[in-house]
Amino acid sequence: LHEFIQKIVSHPQLLFSTTHSVSASKCISNLSGLYNGNIAKPTDFDFLKVIGKGSFGKVLLAKRKWDGKCYAIKVLQKKVILKRSEQKHIMAERNVLLKNVKHPFLVGLHYSFQTTDKLYFVLDFVNGGELFFHLQKERTFPEPRAKFYIAEMASALGYLHSLNIVYRDLKPENILLDSQGHIVLTDFGLCKEGMSQADTTTTFCGTPEYLAPEVLRKQPYDNTVDWWCLGSVLYEMLYGLPPFYSRDTHEMYDNILHKELIMRPGASTAAWSILQALLEKDNTRRLGYRDDFNEVKGHEFFSSINWDDLEQKKLPPPFNPSVESQYDISNFDPEFTEETVPNSVCFSSGLSIVNASVMEADEAFLGFSYAPPSGDSFL
């Protein structure tokens, strides 16, 4: 936009007089300040460490140059997204992130921007580590700790449902802990927007271990798939593996569809009661089907939880990740953090080339860029 306006106002046929020229210069100066002030770009950041990897790119710890503030920046490759026809999911993720800034247990978006070949999400840097990372180290969690995490997750899911959004991919890898030990839900790529409690969808998506039976059957499903996933994550925290897990994916799918949930020792009666209610194969009988989050939080398993205090972060977390500074990455898997930060995150290849693939990418991600209207600015 900046370059385009520069060309227009500097065109000799448009500079009719000194007055027009001065007005045009003033206009471009104001536009330039507005544009450069609020829209972030890769060179505004120092990319320090790789802290995660996904199907379409990497997540990096980055420091904003002018004030040293840390962010997690998700860098995605456009060509990979386009090749897999996943642009709708990426745009849905951007839309959902913009709606989530006011909830304590959902990651916040500060900026999104794009270059010719990459997309960038500038997110909160949540450095307590993935729940998956801690669960791998400890194998299982004591029930009070699992209950605390599940309550915060349920609150986040309930909030998404209130916005008519189904999350569809709850799993330990998508659940982070902040520096105090509170839950932060991230990765909204599989979210479905416009889903009221009465609506259904049929897209087959999710992570195999956590798929609800109705998704596997390719039946229309509703937001109760999230409550199934919540039950699966609770089971995994208490017992170390998802409830119907098998190394053989076909066997696991058969287990999800047909195998009964077998009662195991080590959990309270209330815990087993909510596991059975959430992992009910018939979604019309599943906990949350009738009254969504209100029904879930009313279960006896949560009788000790004060939900107002929980959502105001007044309840002390059962585990402190022991974070020493905003740059601390000790709670991230060394498999990621020991990887070299690619130089390409700060620039795009083929910047001077305008070809069909670039034009296609521009069309596919129209409206992706976002800057806050005020407050957090690069000016």
Residue numbers annotated as active site: 169
- The amino acid present at 47, given as its one-letter code, is F
83 labelled ligand-binding: yes
Q: What is the DSSP code (8-state) at residue 68?
A: -
Nearest to 214 by CA among 263, 281, 275: 281
Does an H or E element contain 120, and which?
strand 118-124
**CA distance linking residue 131 with residue 142, whole number of Å:** 14
Provide the phi-psi class of 168: left if phi over 0, else alpha when psi is between -120 and 50, else beta.
left
Torsion angles phi and psi, residue 294, rounded to 5: -60, -40
Find the helix or strand (DSSP H, E) in which 230 lies: helix 224-239
3-state SS assignment for residue 231: helix
Question: For residues 115 and 368, is the Cβ–Cβ distance under 8 A?
Answer: no
Tell me the C-alpha to C-alpha distance, in Å, between residue 134 and each of 129, 138, 139, 321, 323: 7, 6, 8, 9, 14
| Structure token digits, residue 15 | 């500079």
Q: Which two tokens stand for residue 194?
A: 């416009």
How many alpha carbons lie under 13 Å from residue 221 in its C-beta half-sphere? 28
Q: Which residues are annotated as a binding site?
A: 83
**Annotation: binding site for ATP:** 83
